[in-house]
Chain A
Amino acid sequence: MNTMRPETEAELAEIVAGATAPMAVIGGGTRGMAPSGDRITTTGLSGITLYEPGALTVVAQAGTPVAEIELALASENQRLAFEPMDHRGLLGTSGEPTIGGVVAANVSGPRRIQCGACRDFALGIRYVDGAGNIVKNGGRVMKNVTGYDLVKLMAGARGTLGILSEVSLKVLPMPETETTLVVSVLDTQVAVRAMSTALGSPFDITGAAYDPVSAQALIRVEGFEPSVAYRAEHLTDLLKGFGDVCQLDGAQASAPLWHTVRDVTEFHTAKGDVWRISVKPTDAPDLSARMQAERLLFDWGGGLIWALVPQGTDLRARLGAFDGHATIVRADEQTKDRLGLFQPEPGPLATISAGLRARFDPRGLLNAGVMDRR
């Protein structure tokens, strides 16, 4: 297995133009998406090209380590607000997650429920399509409706439409502090209702998760100290009808907890397949019951369900038809091949998606079969 590592966008374009066989497109290779075969990595395209804290904008080459960007932002008291997950613990991968990988997989964490997904923060991209053409779309300003929004299309396309070479992202200020309210609830239905109540309040919740094992719903608020105190107090009143409410002591106790939600830490050492299911929050109790999962974790106020199931389980068969989609995040190759990583799309949408792939990657070179089973 060869790995190609271009160091300029032009070199990347040249390699793709001259390619004769399918290749796996990877950034740091930490997210377990790449098919087998020769690899092309973007880690040679690295570095922040522009960072304007006063404009809340950062532009970086696709292979730039996420850690490098987070460090630069932290020095100006800013951050990637969509809270990208680190997949290494869950998948047992090594390597350095890249910003291109984050965008290509549209990776977002618990704060997605409040401020949006990675795709909502992606302002512009440069990429090399499957024919080797260099294309740009969007830019580095927050409002831009000039032509079609290919940025959204490429965010989450897992490299199947093109290889990202540069991304520009909106960033946000780091809040002064945060706290988490822990509500004791035994029942998923009650937990989702409690989270919906919090999210439907004016108190600007930035995280709402439920762990059925510890029977705790977690509600996060962030901001300036007095504001956080004020909102925590009102939320405590609002939520006490659902179960006992206690407030964690300061940001030191709150922040690590959300890392474990973001990275699904409780599943790391457990055996079995891991699925990620996006649902309408109020559907979560019924759907999760249908899963007969060994473990569950609810994020996004119930809208995101993490499920641990025995190896080889066809979770989609258990779920039937629903408003949402189920994606395999961890499973053996044989299961991935048999079931496909992504929820099959209804006929007309599958036709559109296939049509787009055929246009952007006419020779079927880039991460072939990752999003659509062949």
Chain B
Amino acid sequence: MEMPVPNPAVLARKARLVERLQAVLPKDAVIHEEVETRAYECDALTAYKCPPMVAVLPASTREVSEVLRICHAEGVPVVPRGSGTSLAGGALPTADCVILGVARMNQVLETDYENRIIRVQTGRTNLSVTGAVEEEDFFYAPDPSSQLACAIAGNIAMNSGGAHCLKYGVTTNNLMGVTMVMMDGTVVEIGGGHLDAGGLDLLGVICGSEGQLGVVTEATLRILRKPEGARPILMGYDSNEVAGAVVSDIIKAGVLPVAIEFMDRPCIEACEAFAKAGYPMCEALLIVEVEGSEAEIDLQLGLIKDIAARHDPVELREAQDADEAGRIWLGRKSAFGAMGQINDYMCLDGTIPVSSLPYVLRRIGEMSQEFGLDVANVFHAGDGNMHPLILFDANKPGDLETCEAFGAEILKLCVEAGGCLTGEHGVGIEKRDLMLVQYTAEDLEAQMAVKDVFDPAWLLNPAKVFPLSESESRRAHKIAAE
């Protein structure tokens, strides 16, 4: 992936910048020695690394505002960072940037069960938001796989999803308000304890803008009462087509499971070898989870079992107790770990209409032959969010490039099938240069116009989301203006 050439004029101002930042932040919150900035050289897209010029760890909205005001005045690009778990390179630095990490801002500011909201600082991890309300049997619904580590700031930037969003939606559907610092240091409050925007839905466009419009320091999130119970059922089929038809039939029958997960044979085999969850060896495996009281669960699973049985399953296994439920999920939840054991892998997250599932899986199989790299598929079938894992060997010259080329072809296939490049990971740098596959230059122009309004100098995370060729004139304008 190409990144812009660092601006020498900015690099030359490092000493002055550090001095100014140290004047407004505690000493240990300004990291500028090369050995230390290396800790921020990449996120979870580890194939790409570049230490930032400086990293700062402000502890309050006021400190964030001070940092941005200084960087704005100095014309220094800023890359916001949550926990650095982005799979798309959303927090990848450039050599001339300041990394602004929100990790020190992790407090719960308010829990309000009557209004069913929680207000947190955005450095707080996703899972610990639920942790803060669990004693009252509430939870925060979006549950990305990285939820133990990922920060709410990053969830908002990427509009993160998760396994349970078929029922509960993704971040944008659960975000009610933010405190955000604009690039010039201005602090704005958007939304709050009430529903829907009073004017333009700015919150809606901020969520998912990959840290390019502002730095969100506090968030009001919707919390929900936990259902009385949940239970998964596992079903195995002889073909992807049949499993795809089962998914569609379940949805059409009016049952709305909280999760429908799909694994193909390579994935089943890897998970089985790794986690020994007792999965049947077959072409396609579905895990469907429903929620409610015992009786409601029985009713929904009864309907699902009827549908499943009509399609001749190889196996149909309903969890009889919590232990068995745990084992059903065990393989799925360890899928990525299992793949990591075998090989290096690249995880994509293109989304497709559920109806084109069999076609897309067949084509991925064919392309796997063409590129000579294995693929395992595990994904959220209810909403068509695929996760093809392409296996490669990072130590083998050329393998990463082949893998990336293969990945790009899969994503083009997703778009061609009526879907999109990314369902929940975001564009970052990873899918940046494919944006013109899904959108026209005019479509991207409209999106970039939004950034022009929020960040006219294009200083916030400027080398992400948009192909460099498309954003060049805007970024060039910035350099010329100095």
Binding site for B on A (CB under 8 A): 52-57, 76-77, 106, 108, 112-113, 116-117, 119-120, 129, 133-137, 139-153, 155-157, 161, 172-176, 193, 196, 199-202, 204, 223-224, 226-227, 230, 278-283, 300, 303-304, 323-327, 342-343, 345-346, 348-349, 352-353, 355-356, 359-360, 371-372
Given A106-B201, A116-B169, A141-B353, are A146 and B431 neighbors across the interface (CB < 8 Å)?
Answer: yes
Given A57-B353, A144-B423, A149-B208, are A359 and B173 neighbors across the interface (CB < 8 Å)?
Answer: no
Query: In the complex, which residues of chain B have a beta carbon less than 8 angstroms from the beta carbon of A281?
Result: 114-115
Query: In the complex, which residues of chain A have a beta carbon less than 8 angstroms from the beta carbon of B116?
Result: 196, 199-200
* Selected contact of B200 from candidates A139, A149, A353, CB within 8 Å: A353
Stretch of B20-28, B58-66, B262-270, B444-452 that contacts chain A: B444-452
Stretch of B48-56, B185-193, B231-239, B393-401 that contacts chain A: B185-193
* Selected contact of A139 from candidates B208, B419, B426, B442, CB within 8 Å: B419
Given A76-B252, A230-B296, A359-B449, are A145 and B115 neighbors across the interface (CB < 8 Å)?
Answer: no
Bound: A145/B421 CA distance, A: 8
Given A144-B351, A196-B114, A303-B194, are A355 and B447 neighbors across the interface (CB < 8 Å)?
Answer: no
Stretch of B33-41, B319-327, B379-387 that contacts chain A: B379-387
Q: Are A349 and B205 in contact (CB under 8 A)?
A: no
Going nearest first, the 10 A-B pairs with the smallest beta carbon separation are: A152-B204, A325-B198, A280-B193, A54-B248, A143-B423, A173-B254, A324-B194, A355-B453, A142-B383, A359-B449
Within 8 A of A (CB), among B421-460: 421-427, 431, 435, 438-440, 442-447, 449-454
Given A149-B204, A175-B254, are A202 and B114 neighbors across the interface (CB < 8 Å)?
Answer: no
Binding site for A on B (CB under 8 A): 112-117, 137-138, 158-159, 161, 165-166, 169-170, 172-173, 182, 186, 188-190, 192-205, 207-209, 225-228, 247-249, 251-256, 292-293, 295-296, 299-300, 351-355, 380, 383-385, 418-427, 431, 435, 438-440, 442-447, 449-454, 465-466
B244 → A minimal CB distance (Å): 9
Q: Are A135 and B165 in contact (CB under 8 A)?
A: no
Q: Are B114 and A55 in contact (CB under 8 A)?
A: no
Q: Are B351 and A141 in contact (CB under 8 A)?
A: yes
Inter-chain contact total with CB atoms closer than 8 Å: 270
Q: Are A349 and B199 in contact (CB under 8 A)?
A: yes
Q: List 9 A-B contacts (CB under 8 A).
A: A53-B251, A120-B173, A143-B161, A145-B158, A152-B204, A196-B115, A226-B296, A230-B295, A349-B190
Bound: A108/B431 CA distance, A: 34
Q: Are A54 and B252 in contact (CB under 8 A)?
A: yes
Given A156-B200, A227-B299, A353-B199, are A143 and B383 neighbors across the interface (CB < 8 Å)?
Answer: yes
* Selected contact of A202 from candidates B190, B193, B227, B380, CB within 8 Å: B227
Bound: A282/B450 CA distance, A: 35
Q: Are A155 and B201 in contact (CB under 8 A)?
A: yes
A292 → B minimal CB distance (Å): 21
Given A143-B384, A146-B431, A360-B449, are A53 and B158 neighbors across the interface (CB < 8 Å)?
Answer: no
Apart from A150-B450, A200-B138: 10 A-B pairs, beta carbons within 8 A:
A52-B353, A54-B247, A55-B354, A55-B384, A76-B252, A119-B196, A141-B384, A153-B200, A200-B116, A280-B192
